[in-house]
Structure 1
Amino acid sequence: MTRDQVQSVHDDIAYMKALAQEGRQAPLLGGSILIAAGLIFGLASIVAYGIDSGILALPPVAYAFLWGGAGLIFAVVLMLQIRRTGGRPGAQSVANRAAGAGWMGVGLAIFVMALGMSVVSWKTGSEVAFMLFPSLIFALYGSGWAVSAAMSDQKWQWKLAIACWIAAPLIAFLTGSPLMWLGYAAGLFLFALLPGVLLVRQEPSEVI
């Protein structure tokens, strides 16, 4: 190779490295989606605690309307937020695309998992399967934060991932108690709502 060709290869490598570094430094978008998830399902969990503890005199069928309604509201908010953030500068950076794919996988896994648990509950006539739901949610949230942390190089997100994984088995100790729903609500506020607020605050008016 000639000297000019070698220099051209070096320039290309430097350019690709700069693009990769730029993608990692682009602020993460989608914090508003986490805020919505934490707020909507966190409040639904508090209502579920009211039903389970007898504070709210509602029949068991109210759970279906509660979680179905929460899911529908979140689905609408999710579509609006995806449309809003999809065209923003920085949305196509490597970090945002990878983190978005990771969280999309988490969301789809939760949806499919809920369908599977519904089938198990219907076939067995028992609601035991749904008692695993909070633990599995926190385990999946930990995976989402791990992907986001790895791609964004924001180390505080690793702490969230580890905290989610620790919370997953711990909340299982509250199984069978109305307090499980309060623990679930607290986890949603800590692992979705508050980090979402932090991510939104980190978004500058102009992003890469």
Structure 2
Amino acid sequence: MTRDQLQSVHDDIAYMRAMAQEGRRAPLLGGSILIAAGAIFGSASVVHFAVESGALDLPPVAYAWLWGAAFLMFIVALNVLQHRIGKLPGAASLANRAAGAAWMGVGLVIFTASISMAVLAWKSGAETTFMLFPSLIFAVYGAGWAVSATVSGVRWQWWLAVAAWIAAPGIAFLAGEPTLWLAYAAGLFAFAMLPGFQLVRQRTSLVV
């Protein structure tokens, strides 16, 4: 291999290293989506608790309308926010693309699991199927934060992942109680909305 070829290989390696370092320094940009998810579904969970506890006198069909409306609100917010995020500096970085793919996977797991549980509840006539839903959400949120922590190198996201995994079986002890949905709301605020605010704050401070 000639000296010029060796220099070319060295330059390529240096370029790839610089790109990887730049990708790791780029702030994660999905905070606003996490805020929307935590706020919308967390609020829906509080209303669910109010209906199930009797604080709101509504028929059982209200649950379907409640969660259906929350889902539609989130889809609208998701489309708007993704369009805005795509225009931000660092959106094409390796870390953001990897984290974005991981959270997209989390969302698809939640969506397909929701459909599967609805079908199972319809076939069996047992609405208790949905009592597993909060545990499932916390488990996949833990996976999302684990991937995000790995690609970004941000240590506090690992603590979120572990906390979500601990909360997944822990919240199952509340199955059959109205407080299940209040605890679920608290988890959504803790594992989505509040960390989302932290990501937005970090992005803003780096830009400024």
Q: CA deviation at 1:29?
A: 0.2
Q: 1:148 corresponds to which residue?
A: 148
Q: Distance in 1 between matches of 2:115 and 2:5?
A: 57
| Match status 1:199 vs 2:204 | no
Q: CA deviation at 1:8?
A: 2.0
CA contact (8 A) 1:39 1:189 kept: yes
Q: Using structure 2 for the length normalisation, give the TM-score.
A: 0.97
SS of aligned partner of 2:154: coil
**Residues 85-121 of structure 1: CA deviation (Å, up to 9, x unaligned):** 1122110000000000000000011011000000000
Q: Distance in 1 between matches of 2:46 and 2:10?
A: 58
Q: 1:81 corresponds to which residue?
A: 81
Q: Which runs of 4+ in 1 moved over 6 A?
A: none
Point out where structure 1 has 5 or more consecutive residues left out of the alignment: none
Structure 1 residue identity aligned to 2:141: Y
Q: CA deviation at 1:205?
A: 7.2
**Residues 137-194 of structure 1: CA deviation (Å, up to 9, x unaligned):** 0000001001111000101100000000000000000000011011000000000000
Q: How many equivalent residue pairs?
A: 207
* 5-14 vs 123-132, which moves further: 5-14
Q: 2:19 corresponds to which residue?
A: 19
CA contact (8 A) 1:89 1:206 kept: no
Q: Distance in 1 between matches of 2:87 and 2:63?
A: 37
Point out where structure 2 has 5 or more consecutive residues left out of the alignment: none
Q: CA deviation at 1:206?
A: 7.0
Q: 1:159 corresponds to which residue?
A: 159
Q: CA deviation at 1:2?
A: 1.9
Query: After superposition, where does 1:18-167 map in structure 2 within 5 Å?
Result: 18-167=18-167
Q: 1:188 corresponds to which residue?
A: 188
Q: CA deviation at 1:14?
A: 0.9
Q: CA deviation at 1:24?
A: 0.9
SS of aligned partner of 1:91: coil
Q: Distance in 1 between matches of 2:135 and 2:119?
A: 19
Q: Distance in 1 between matches of 2:149 and 2:127?
A: 35
SS of aligned partner of 1:51: helix
Q: Distance in 1 between matches of 2:54 and 2:119?
A: 27
Structure 2 residue identity aligned to 1:100: G
